[in-house]
Amino acid sequence: MEKRNSVFECQECGYASPKWLGRCPDCGGWNSLVEERRERGRPGGKRTARPARLGDISTEAIPRIDTRNPEFNRTLGGGIVPGSLILLGGEPGVGKSTLLLQIARSLEGMSVLYASGEESMQQIRLRADRLGEPPAGAGELYLLADSSLEGILAAVEEVKPGALVVDSVQTACSESLESAPGSMSQVRHVAVTLLNLAKRTHLPVFLIGHVTKDGAIAGPKALEHIVDVVLYFEGEGKRNHRIIRAVKNRFGAANEVGIFEMTSRGLLPAANPSGLFLPDRELSAGSSVVCALEGTRPLLVEIQALVVATQYSNARRVADGVNYNRISVLVAMLEKRLGVQMTGSDIYVSTAGGIEVNDPGADLGLFAAIFGSLRNRPIASRTVFVGELSLSGDVRPVPQAHLRVREAAAMGFSRVILPAGNLPLVDPVGGIELEPIDTVAELTELIFP
């Protein structure tokens, strides 16, 4: 009997089963299994790698290609690494095609092939015209309106570009597979083929991927482990600025953020990143300013908290831009360490400007914002909070305290409340008063004497 060369794969999580099932046993999705034909053999085929002695391997710094966009360079960890496969994900309309078209026309002395299965060549040309003149010395840009992977590979052979952009992984598809474009096996096959191309020829490849709000479609999420770098647009893109975060980077710091402004001439590096997340007025009750280290950059961000008596039997806890579990811990600490009753209160916490703050060094400021709303008293303006909290209510030192203090000074703040343990490592900065503390009990006395 001929062995069937197909498998049923969940389009949500990638679970594979030899037979059809109504419900995915892995992620619990209903009706999400689709028959996919498996390709025989290993993609890429021939052996290309040879073993080498550790000592023989070159330790020279990785060369990087300057994108001539400082914020994008920063997100990538200093520029494009030749031979890397970079995934850029985000919701439709956020600016993925715009940004990569700009980058594609900016690389110095390097031609780029931009393959799009989403738009016609005319549409791309019109967008390029909106973006204005490319910077001096930029190489030729070649467009290809083709979604076939084989077509893209043939065009690479023909043009021999210095970089390749594929827009998008959901529309690109290989003729060697029968499944539909955007299906799990197509998306994965496209990514693996492009990875092999990148590694074999040292061609840097950008792959655009659409992500929906819940990130549930086949695509970017399933590719994160294959590609070298994963960049996502953060926030909902309703404002003028855009945030791109490197959630994975094999060649640089993860969590690095680039901050851009959407203008009539495309996405440009933001002139004053910290300023985008700060209030332009006096702080109101329930607001505080933290200096969070995102990647290698200190960023000042306003935190807003609202504590109100709950109307329902269950108190609501909503965290937007900050970790939900972290808020629960801080609230528990408020109850235990300061003896405040929080069970009857709804608590909402969010960051200004749609940026996500993942740094535990923001704990102290989150705590201060919640406490400020509870007391209904504003915290003195020009104050920045830095510090991680332990469950016991101790204020623990944070990495790079001196960078954070300097950023606060640069943005015109006059006072930094920070962990006493950080004090010996921070050089005095003109115009900044440092207030070291050891516990959250000291914090409350300091902000509301």
Which ranges constitute the DSSP H helices of 149-273? Answer: 149-159, 184-201, 220-223
Return the range that interacts with ligand TYD (CB under 6 A); candidates 15-23, 125-133, 153-161, 412-420. 125-133
> Does residue 28 bind ligand TYD (CB under 6 A)?
no
- The β-bridge partners of 301 are 290
> Which of these ranges, 136-144, 243-251, 259-267, 367-375, lies near ligand TYD under the rule CB under 6 A?
259-267
Q: Could you tell me which residues come within 8 angstroms of residue 122 by beta carbon, excluding any fewer than 6 positions away?
A: none
When asked if residue 215 is in the footprint of ligand TYD (CB under 6 A), the reply is no
Q: In what side-by-side order are the strands of the sheet with 112-116?
A: 141-144, 112-116, 163-167, 205-210, 85-90, 229-234, 241-249, 257-263, 266-269
User: Taking CB under 6 A as the rule, does residue 258 contact ligand TYD?
Assistant: no
Q: Work out which of 4, 23, 265, 402 binds ligand TYD, going by CB under 6 A.
A: 265
Cβ closer to ligand TYD: 250 or 265?
Answer: 265
Render the burial of 46-68: b for 16+ CB within 10 Å, e for the rest.
eeeeeeeeeeeeeeeeeebbebb
Q: Is 97 in the site for Mg ion (CB under 5 A)?
A: yes
For residue 215, the partner it binds in ligand TYD, Mg ion, none, with Cβ less than 5 to 8 A by kind, is none
Please give the structure tokens belonging to residue 318: 């909503």
| Under rule CB under 6 A, residue 98 binds ligand TYD | yes
Report, in Å, the least distance between residue 233 CB and ligand TYD: 7
Q: Could you tell me the smallest distance in angstroms from the CB atom of residue 164 to Mg ion? A: 16
131 or 364, CB closer to ligand TYD? 131
Q: How far is CA 73 from the centre of its chain?
A: 14
Does 241 engage in binding with ligand TYD (CB under 6 A)?
A: no
Say how many residues make up the chain. 449
Sign of the four-CA dihedral 333, 335, 340, 342:
positive
77 vs 90 by CB, closer to ligand TYD: 90
C-beta closer to Mg ion: residue 32 or 97: 97
**Which listed range, 21-29, 91-99, 173-181, 437-445, lies at the site for Mg ion (CB under 5 A)?**
91-99
User: Do 330 and 288 form a contact (C-beta atoms < 8 A)?
Assistant: no
The residues that touch ligand TYD, with contacts defined as CB under 6 A, are: 90, 92-98, 127, 130-131, 262, 264-266
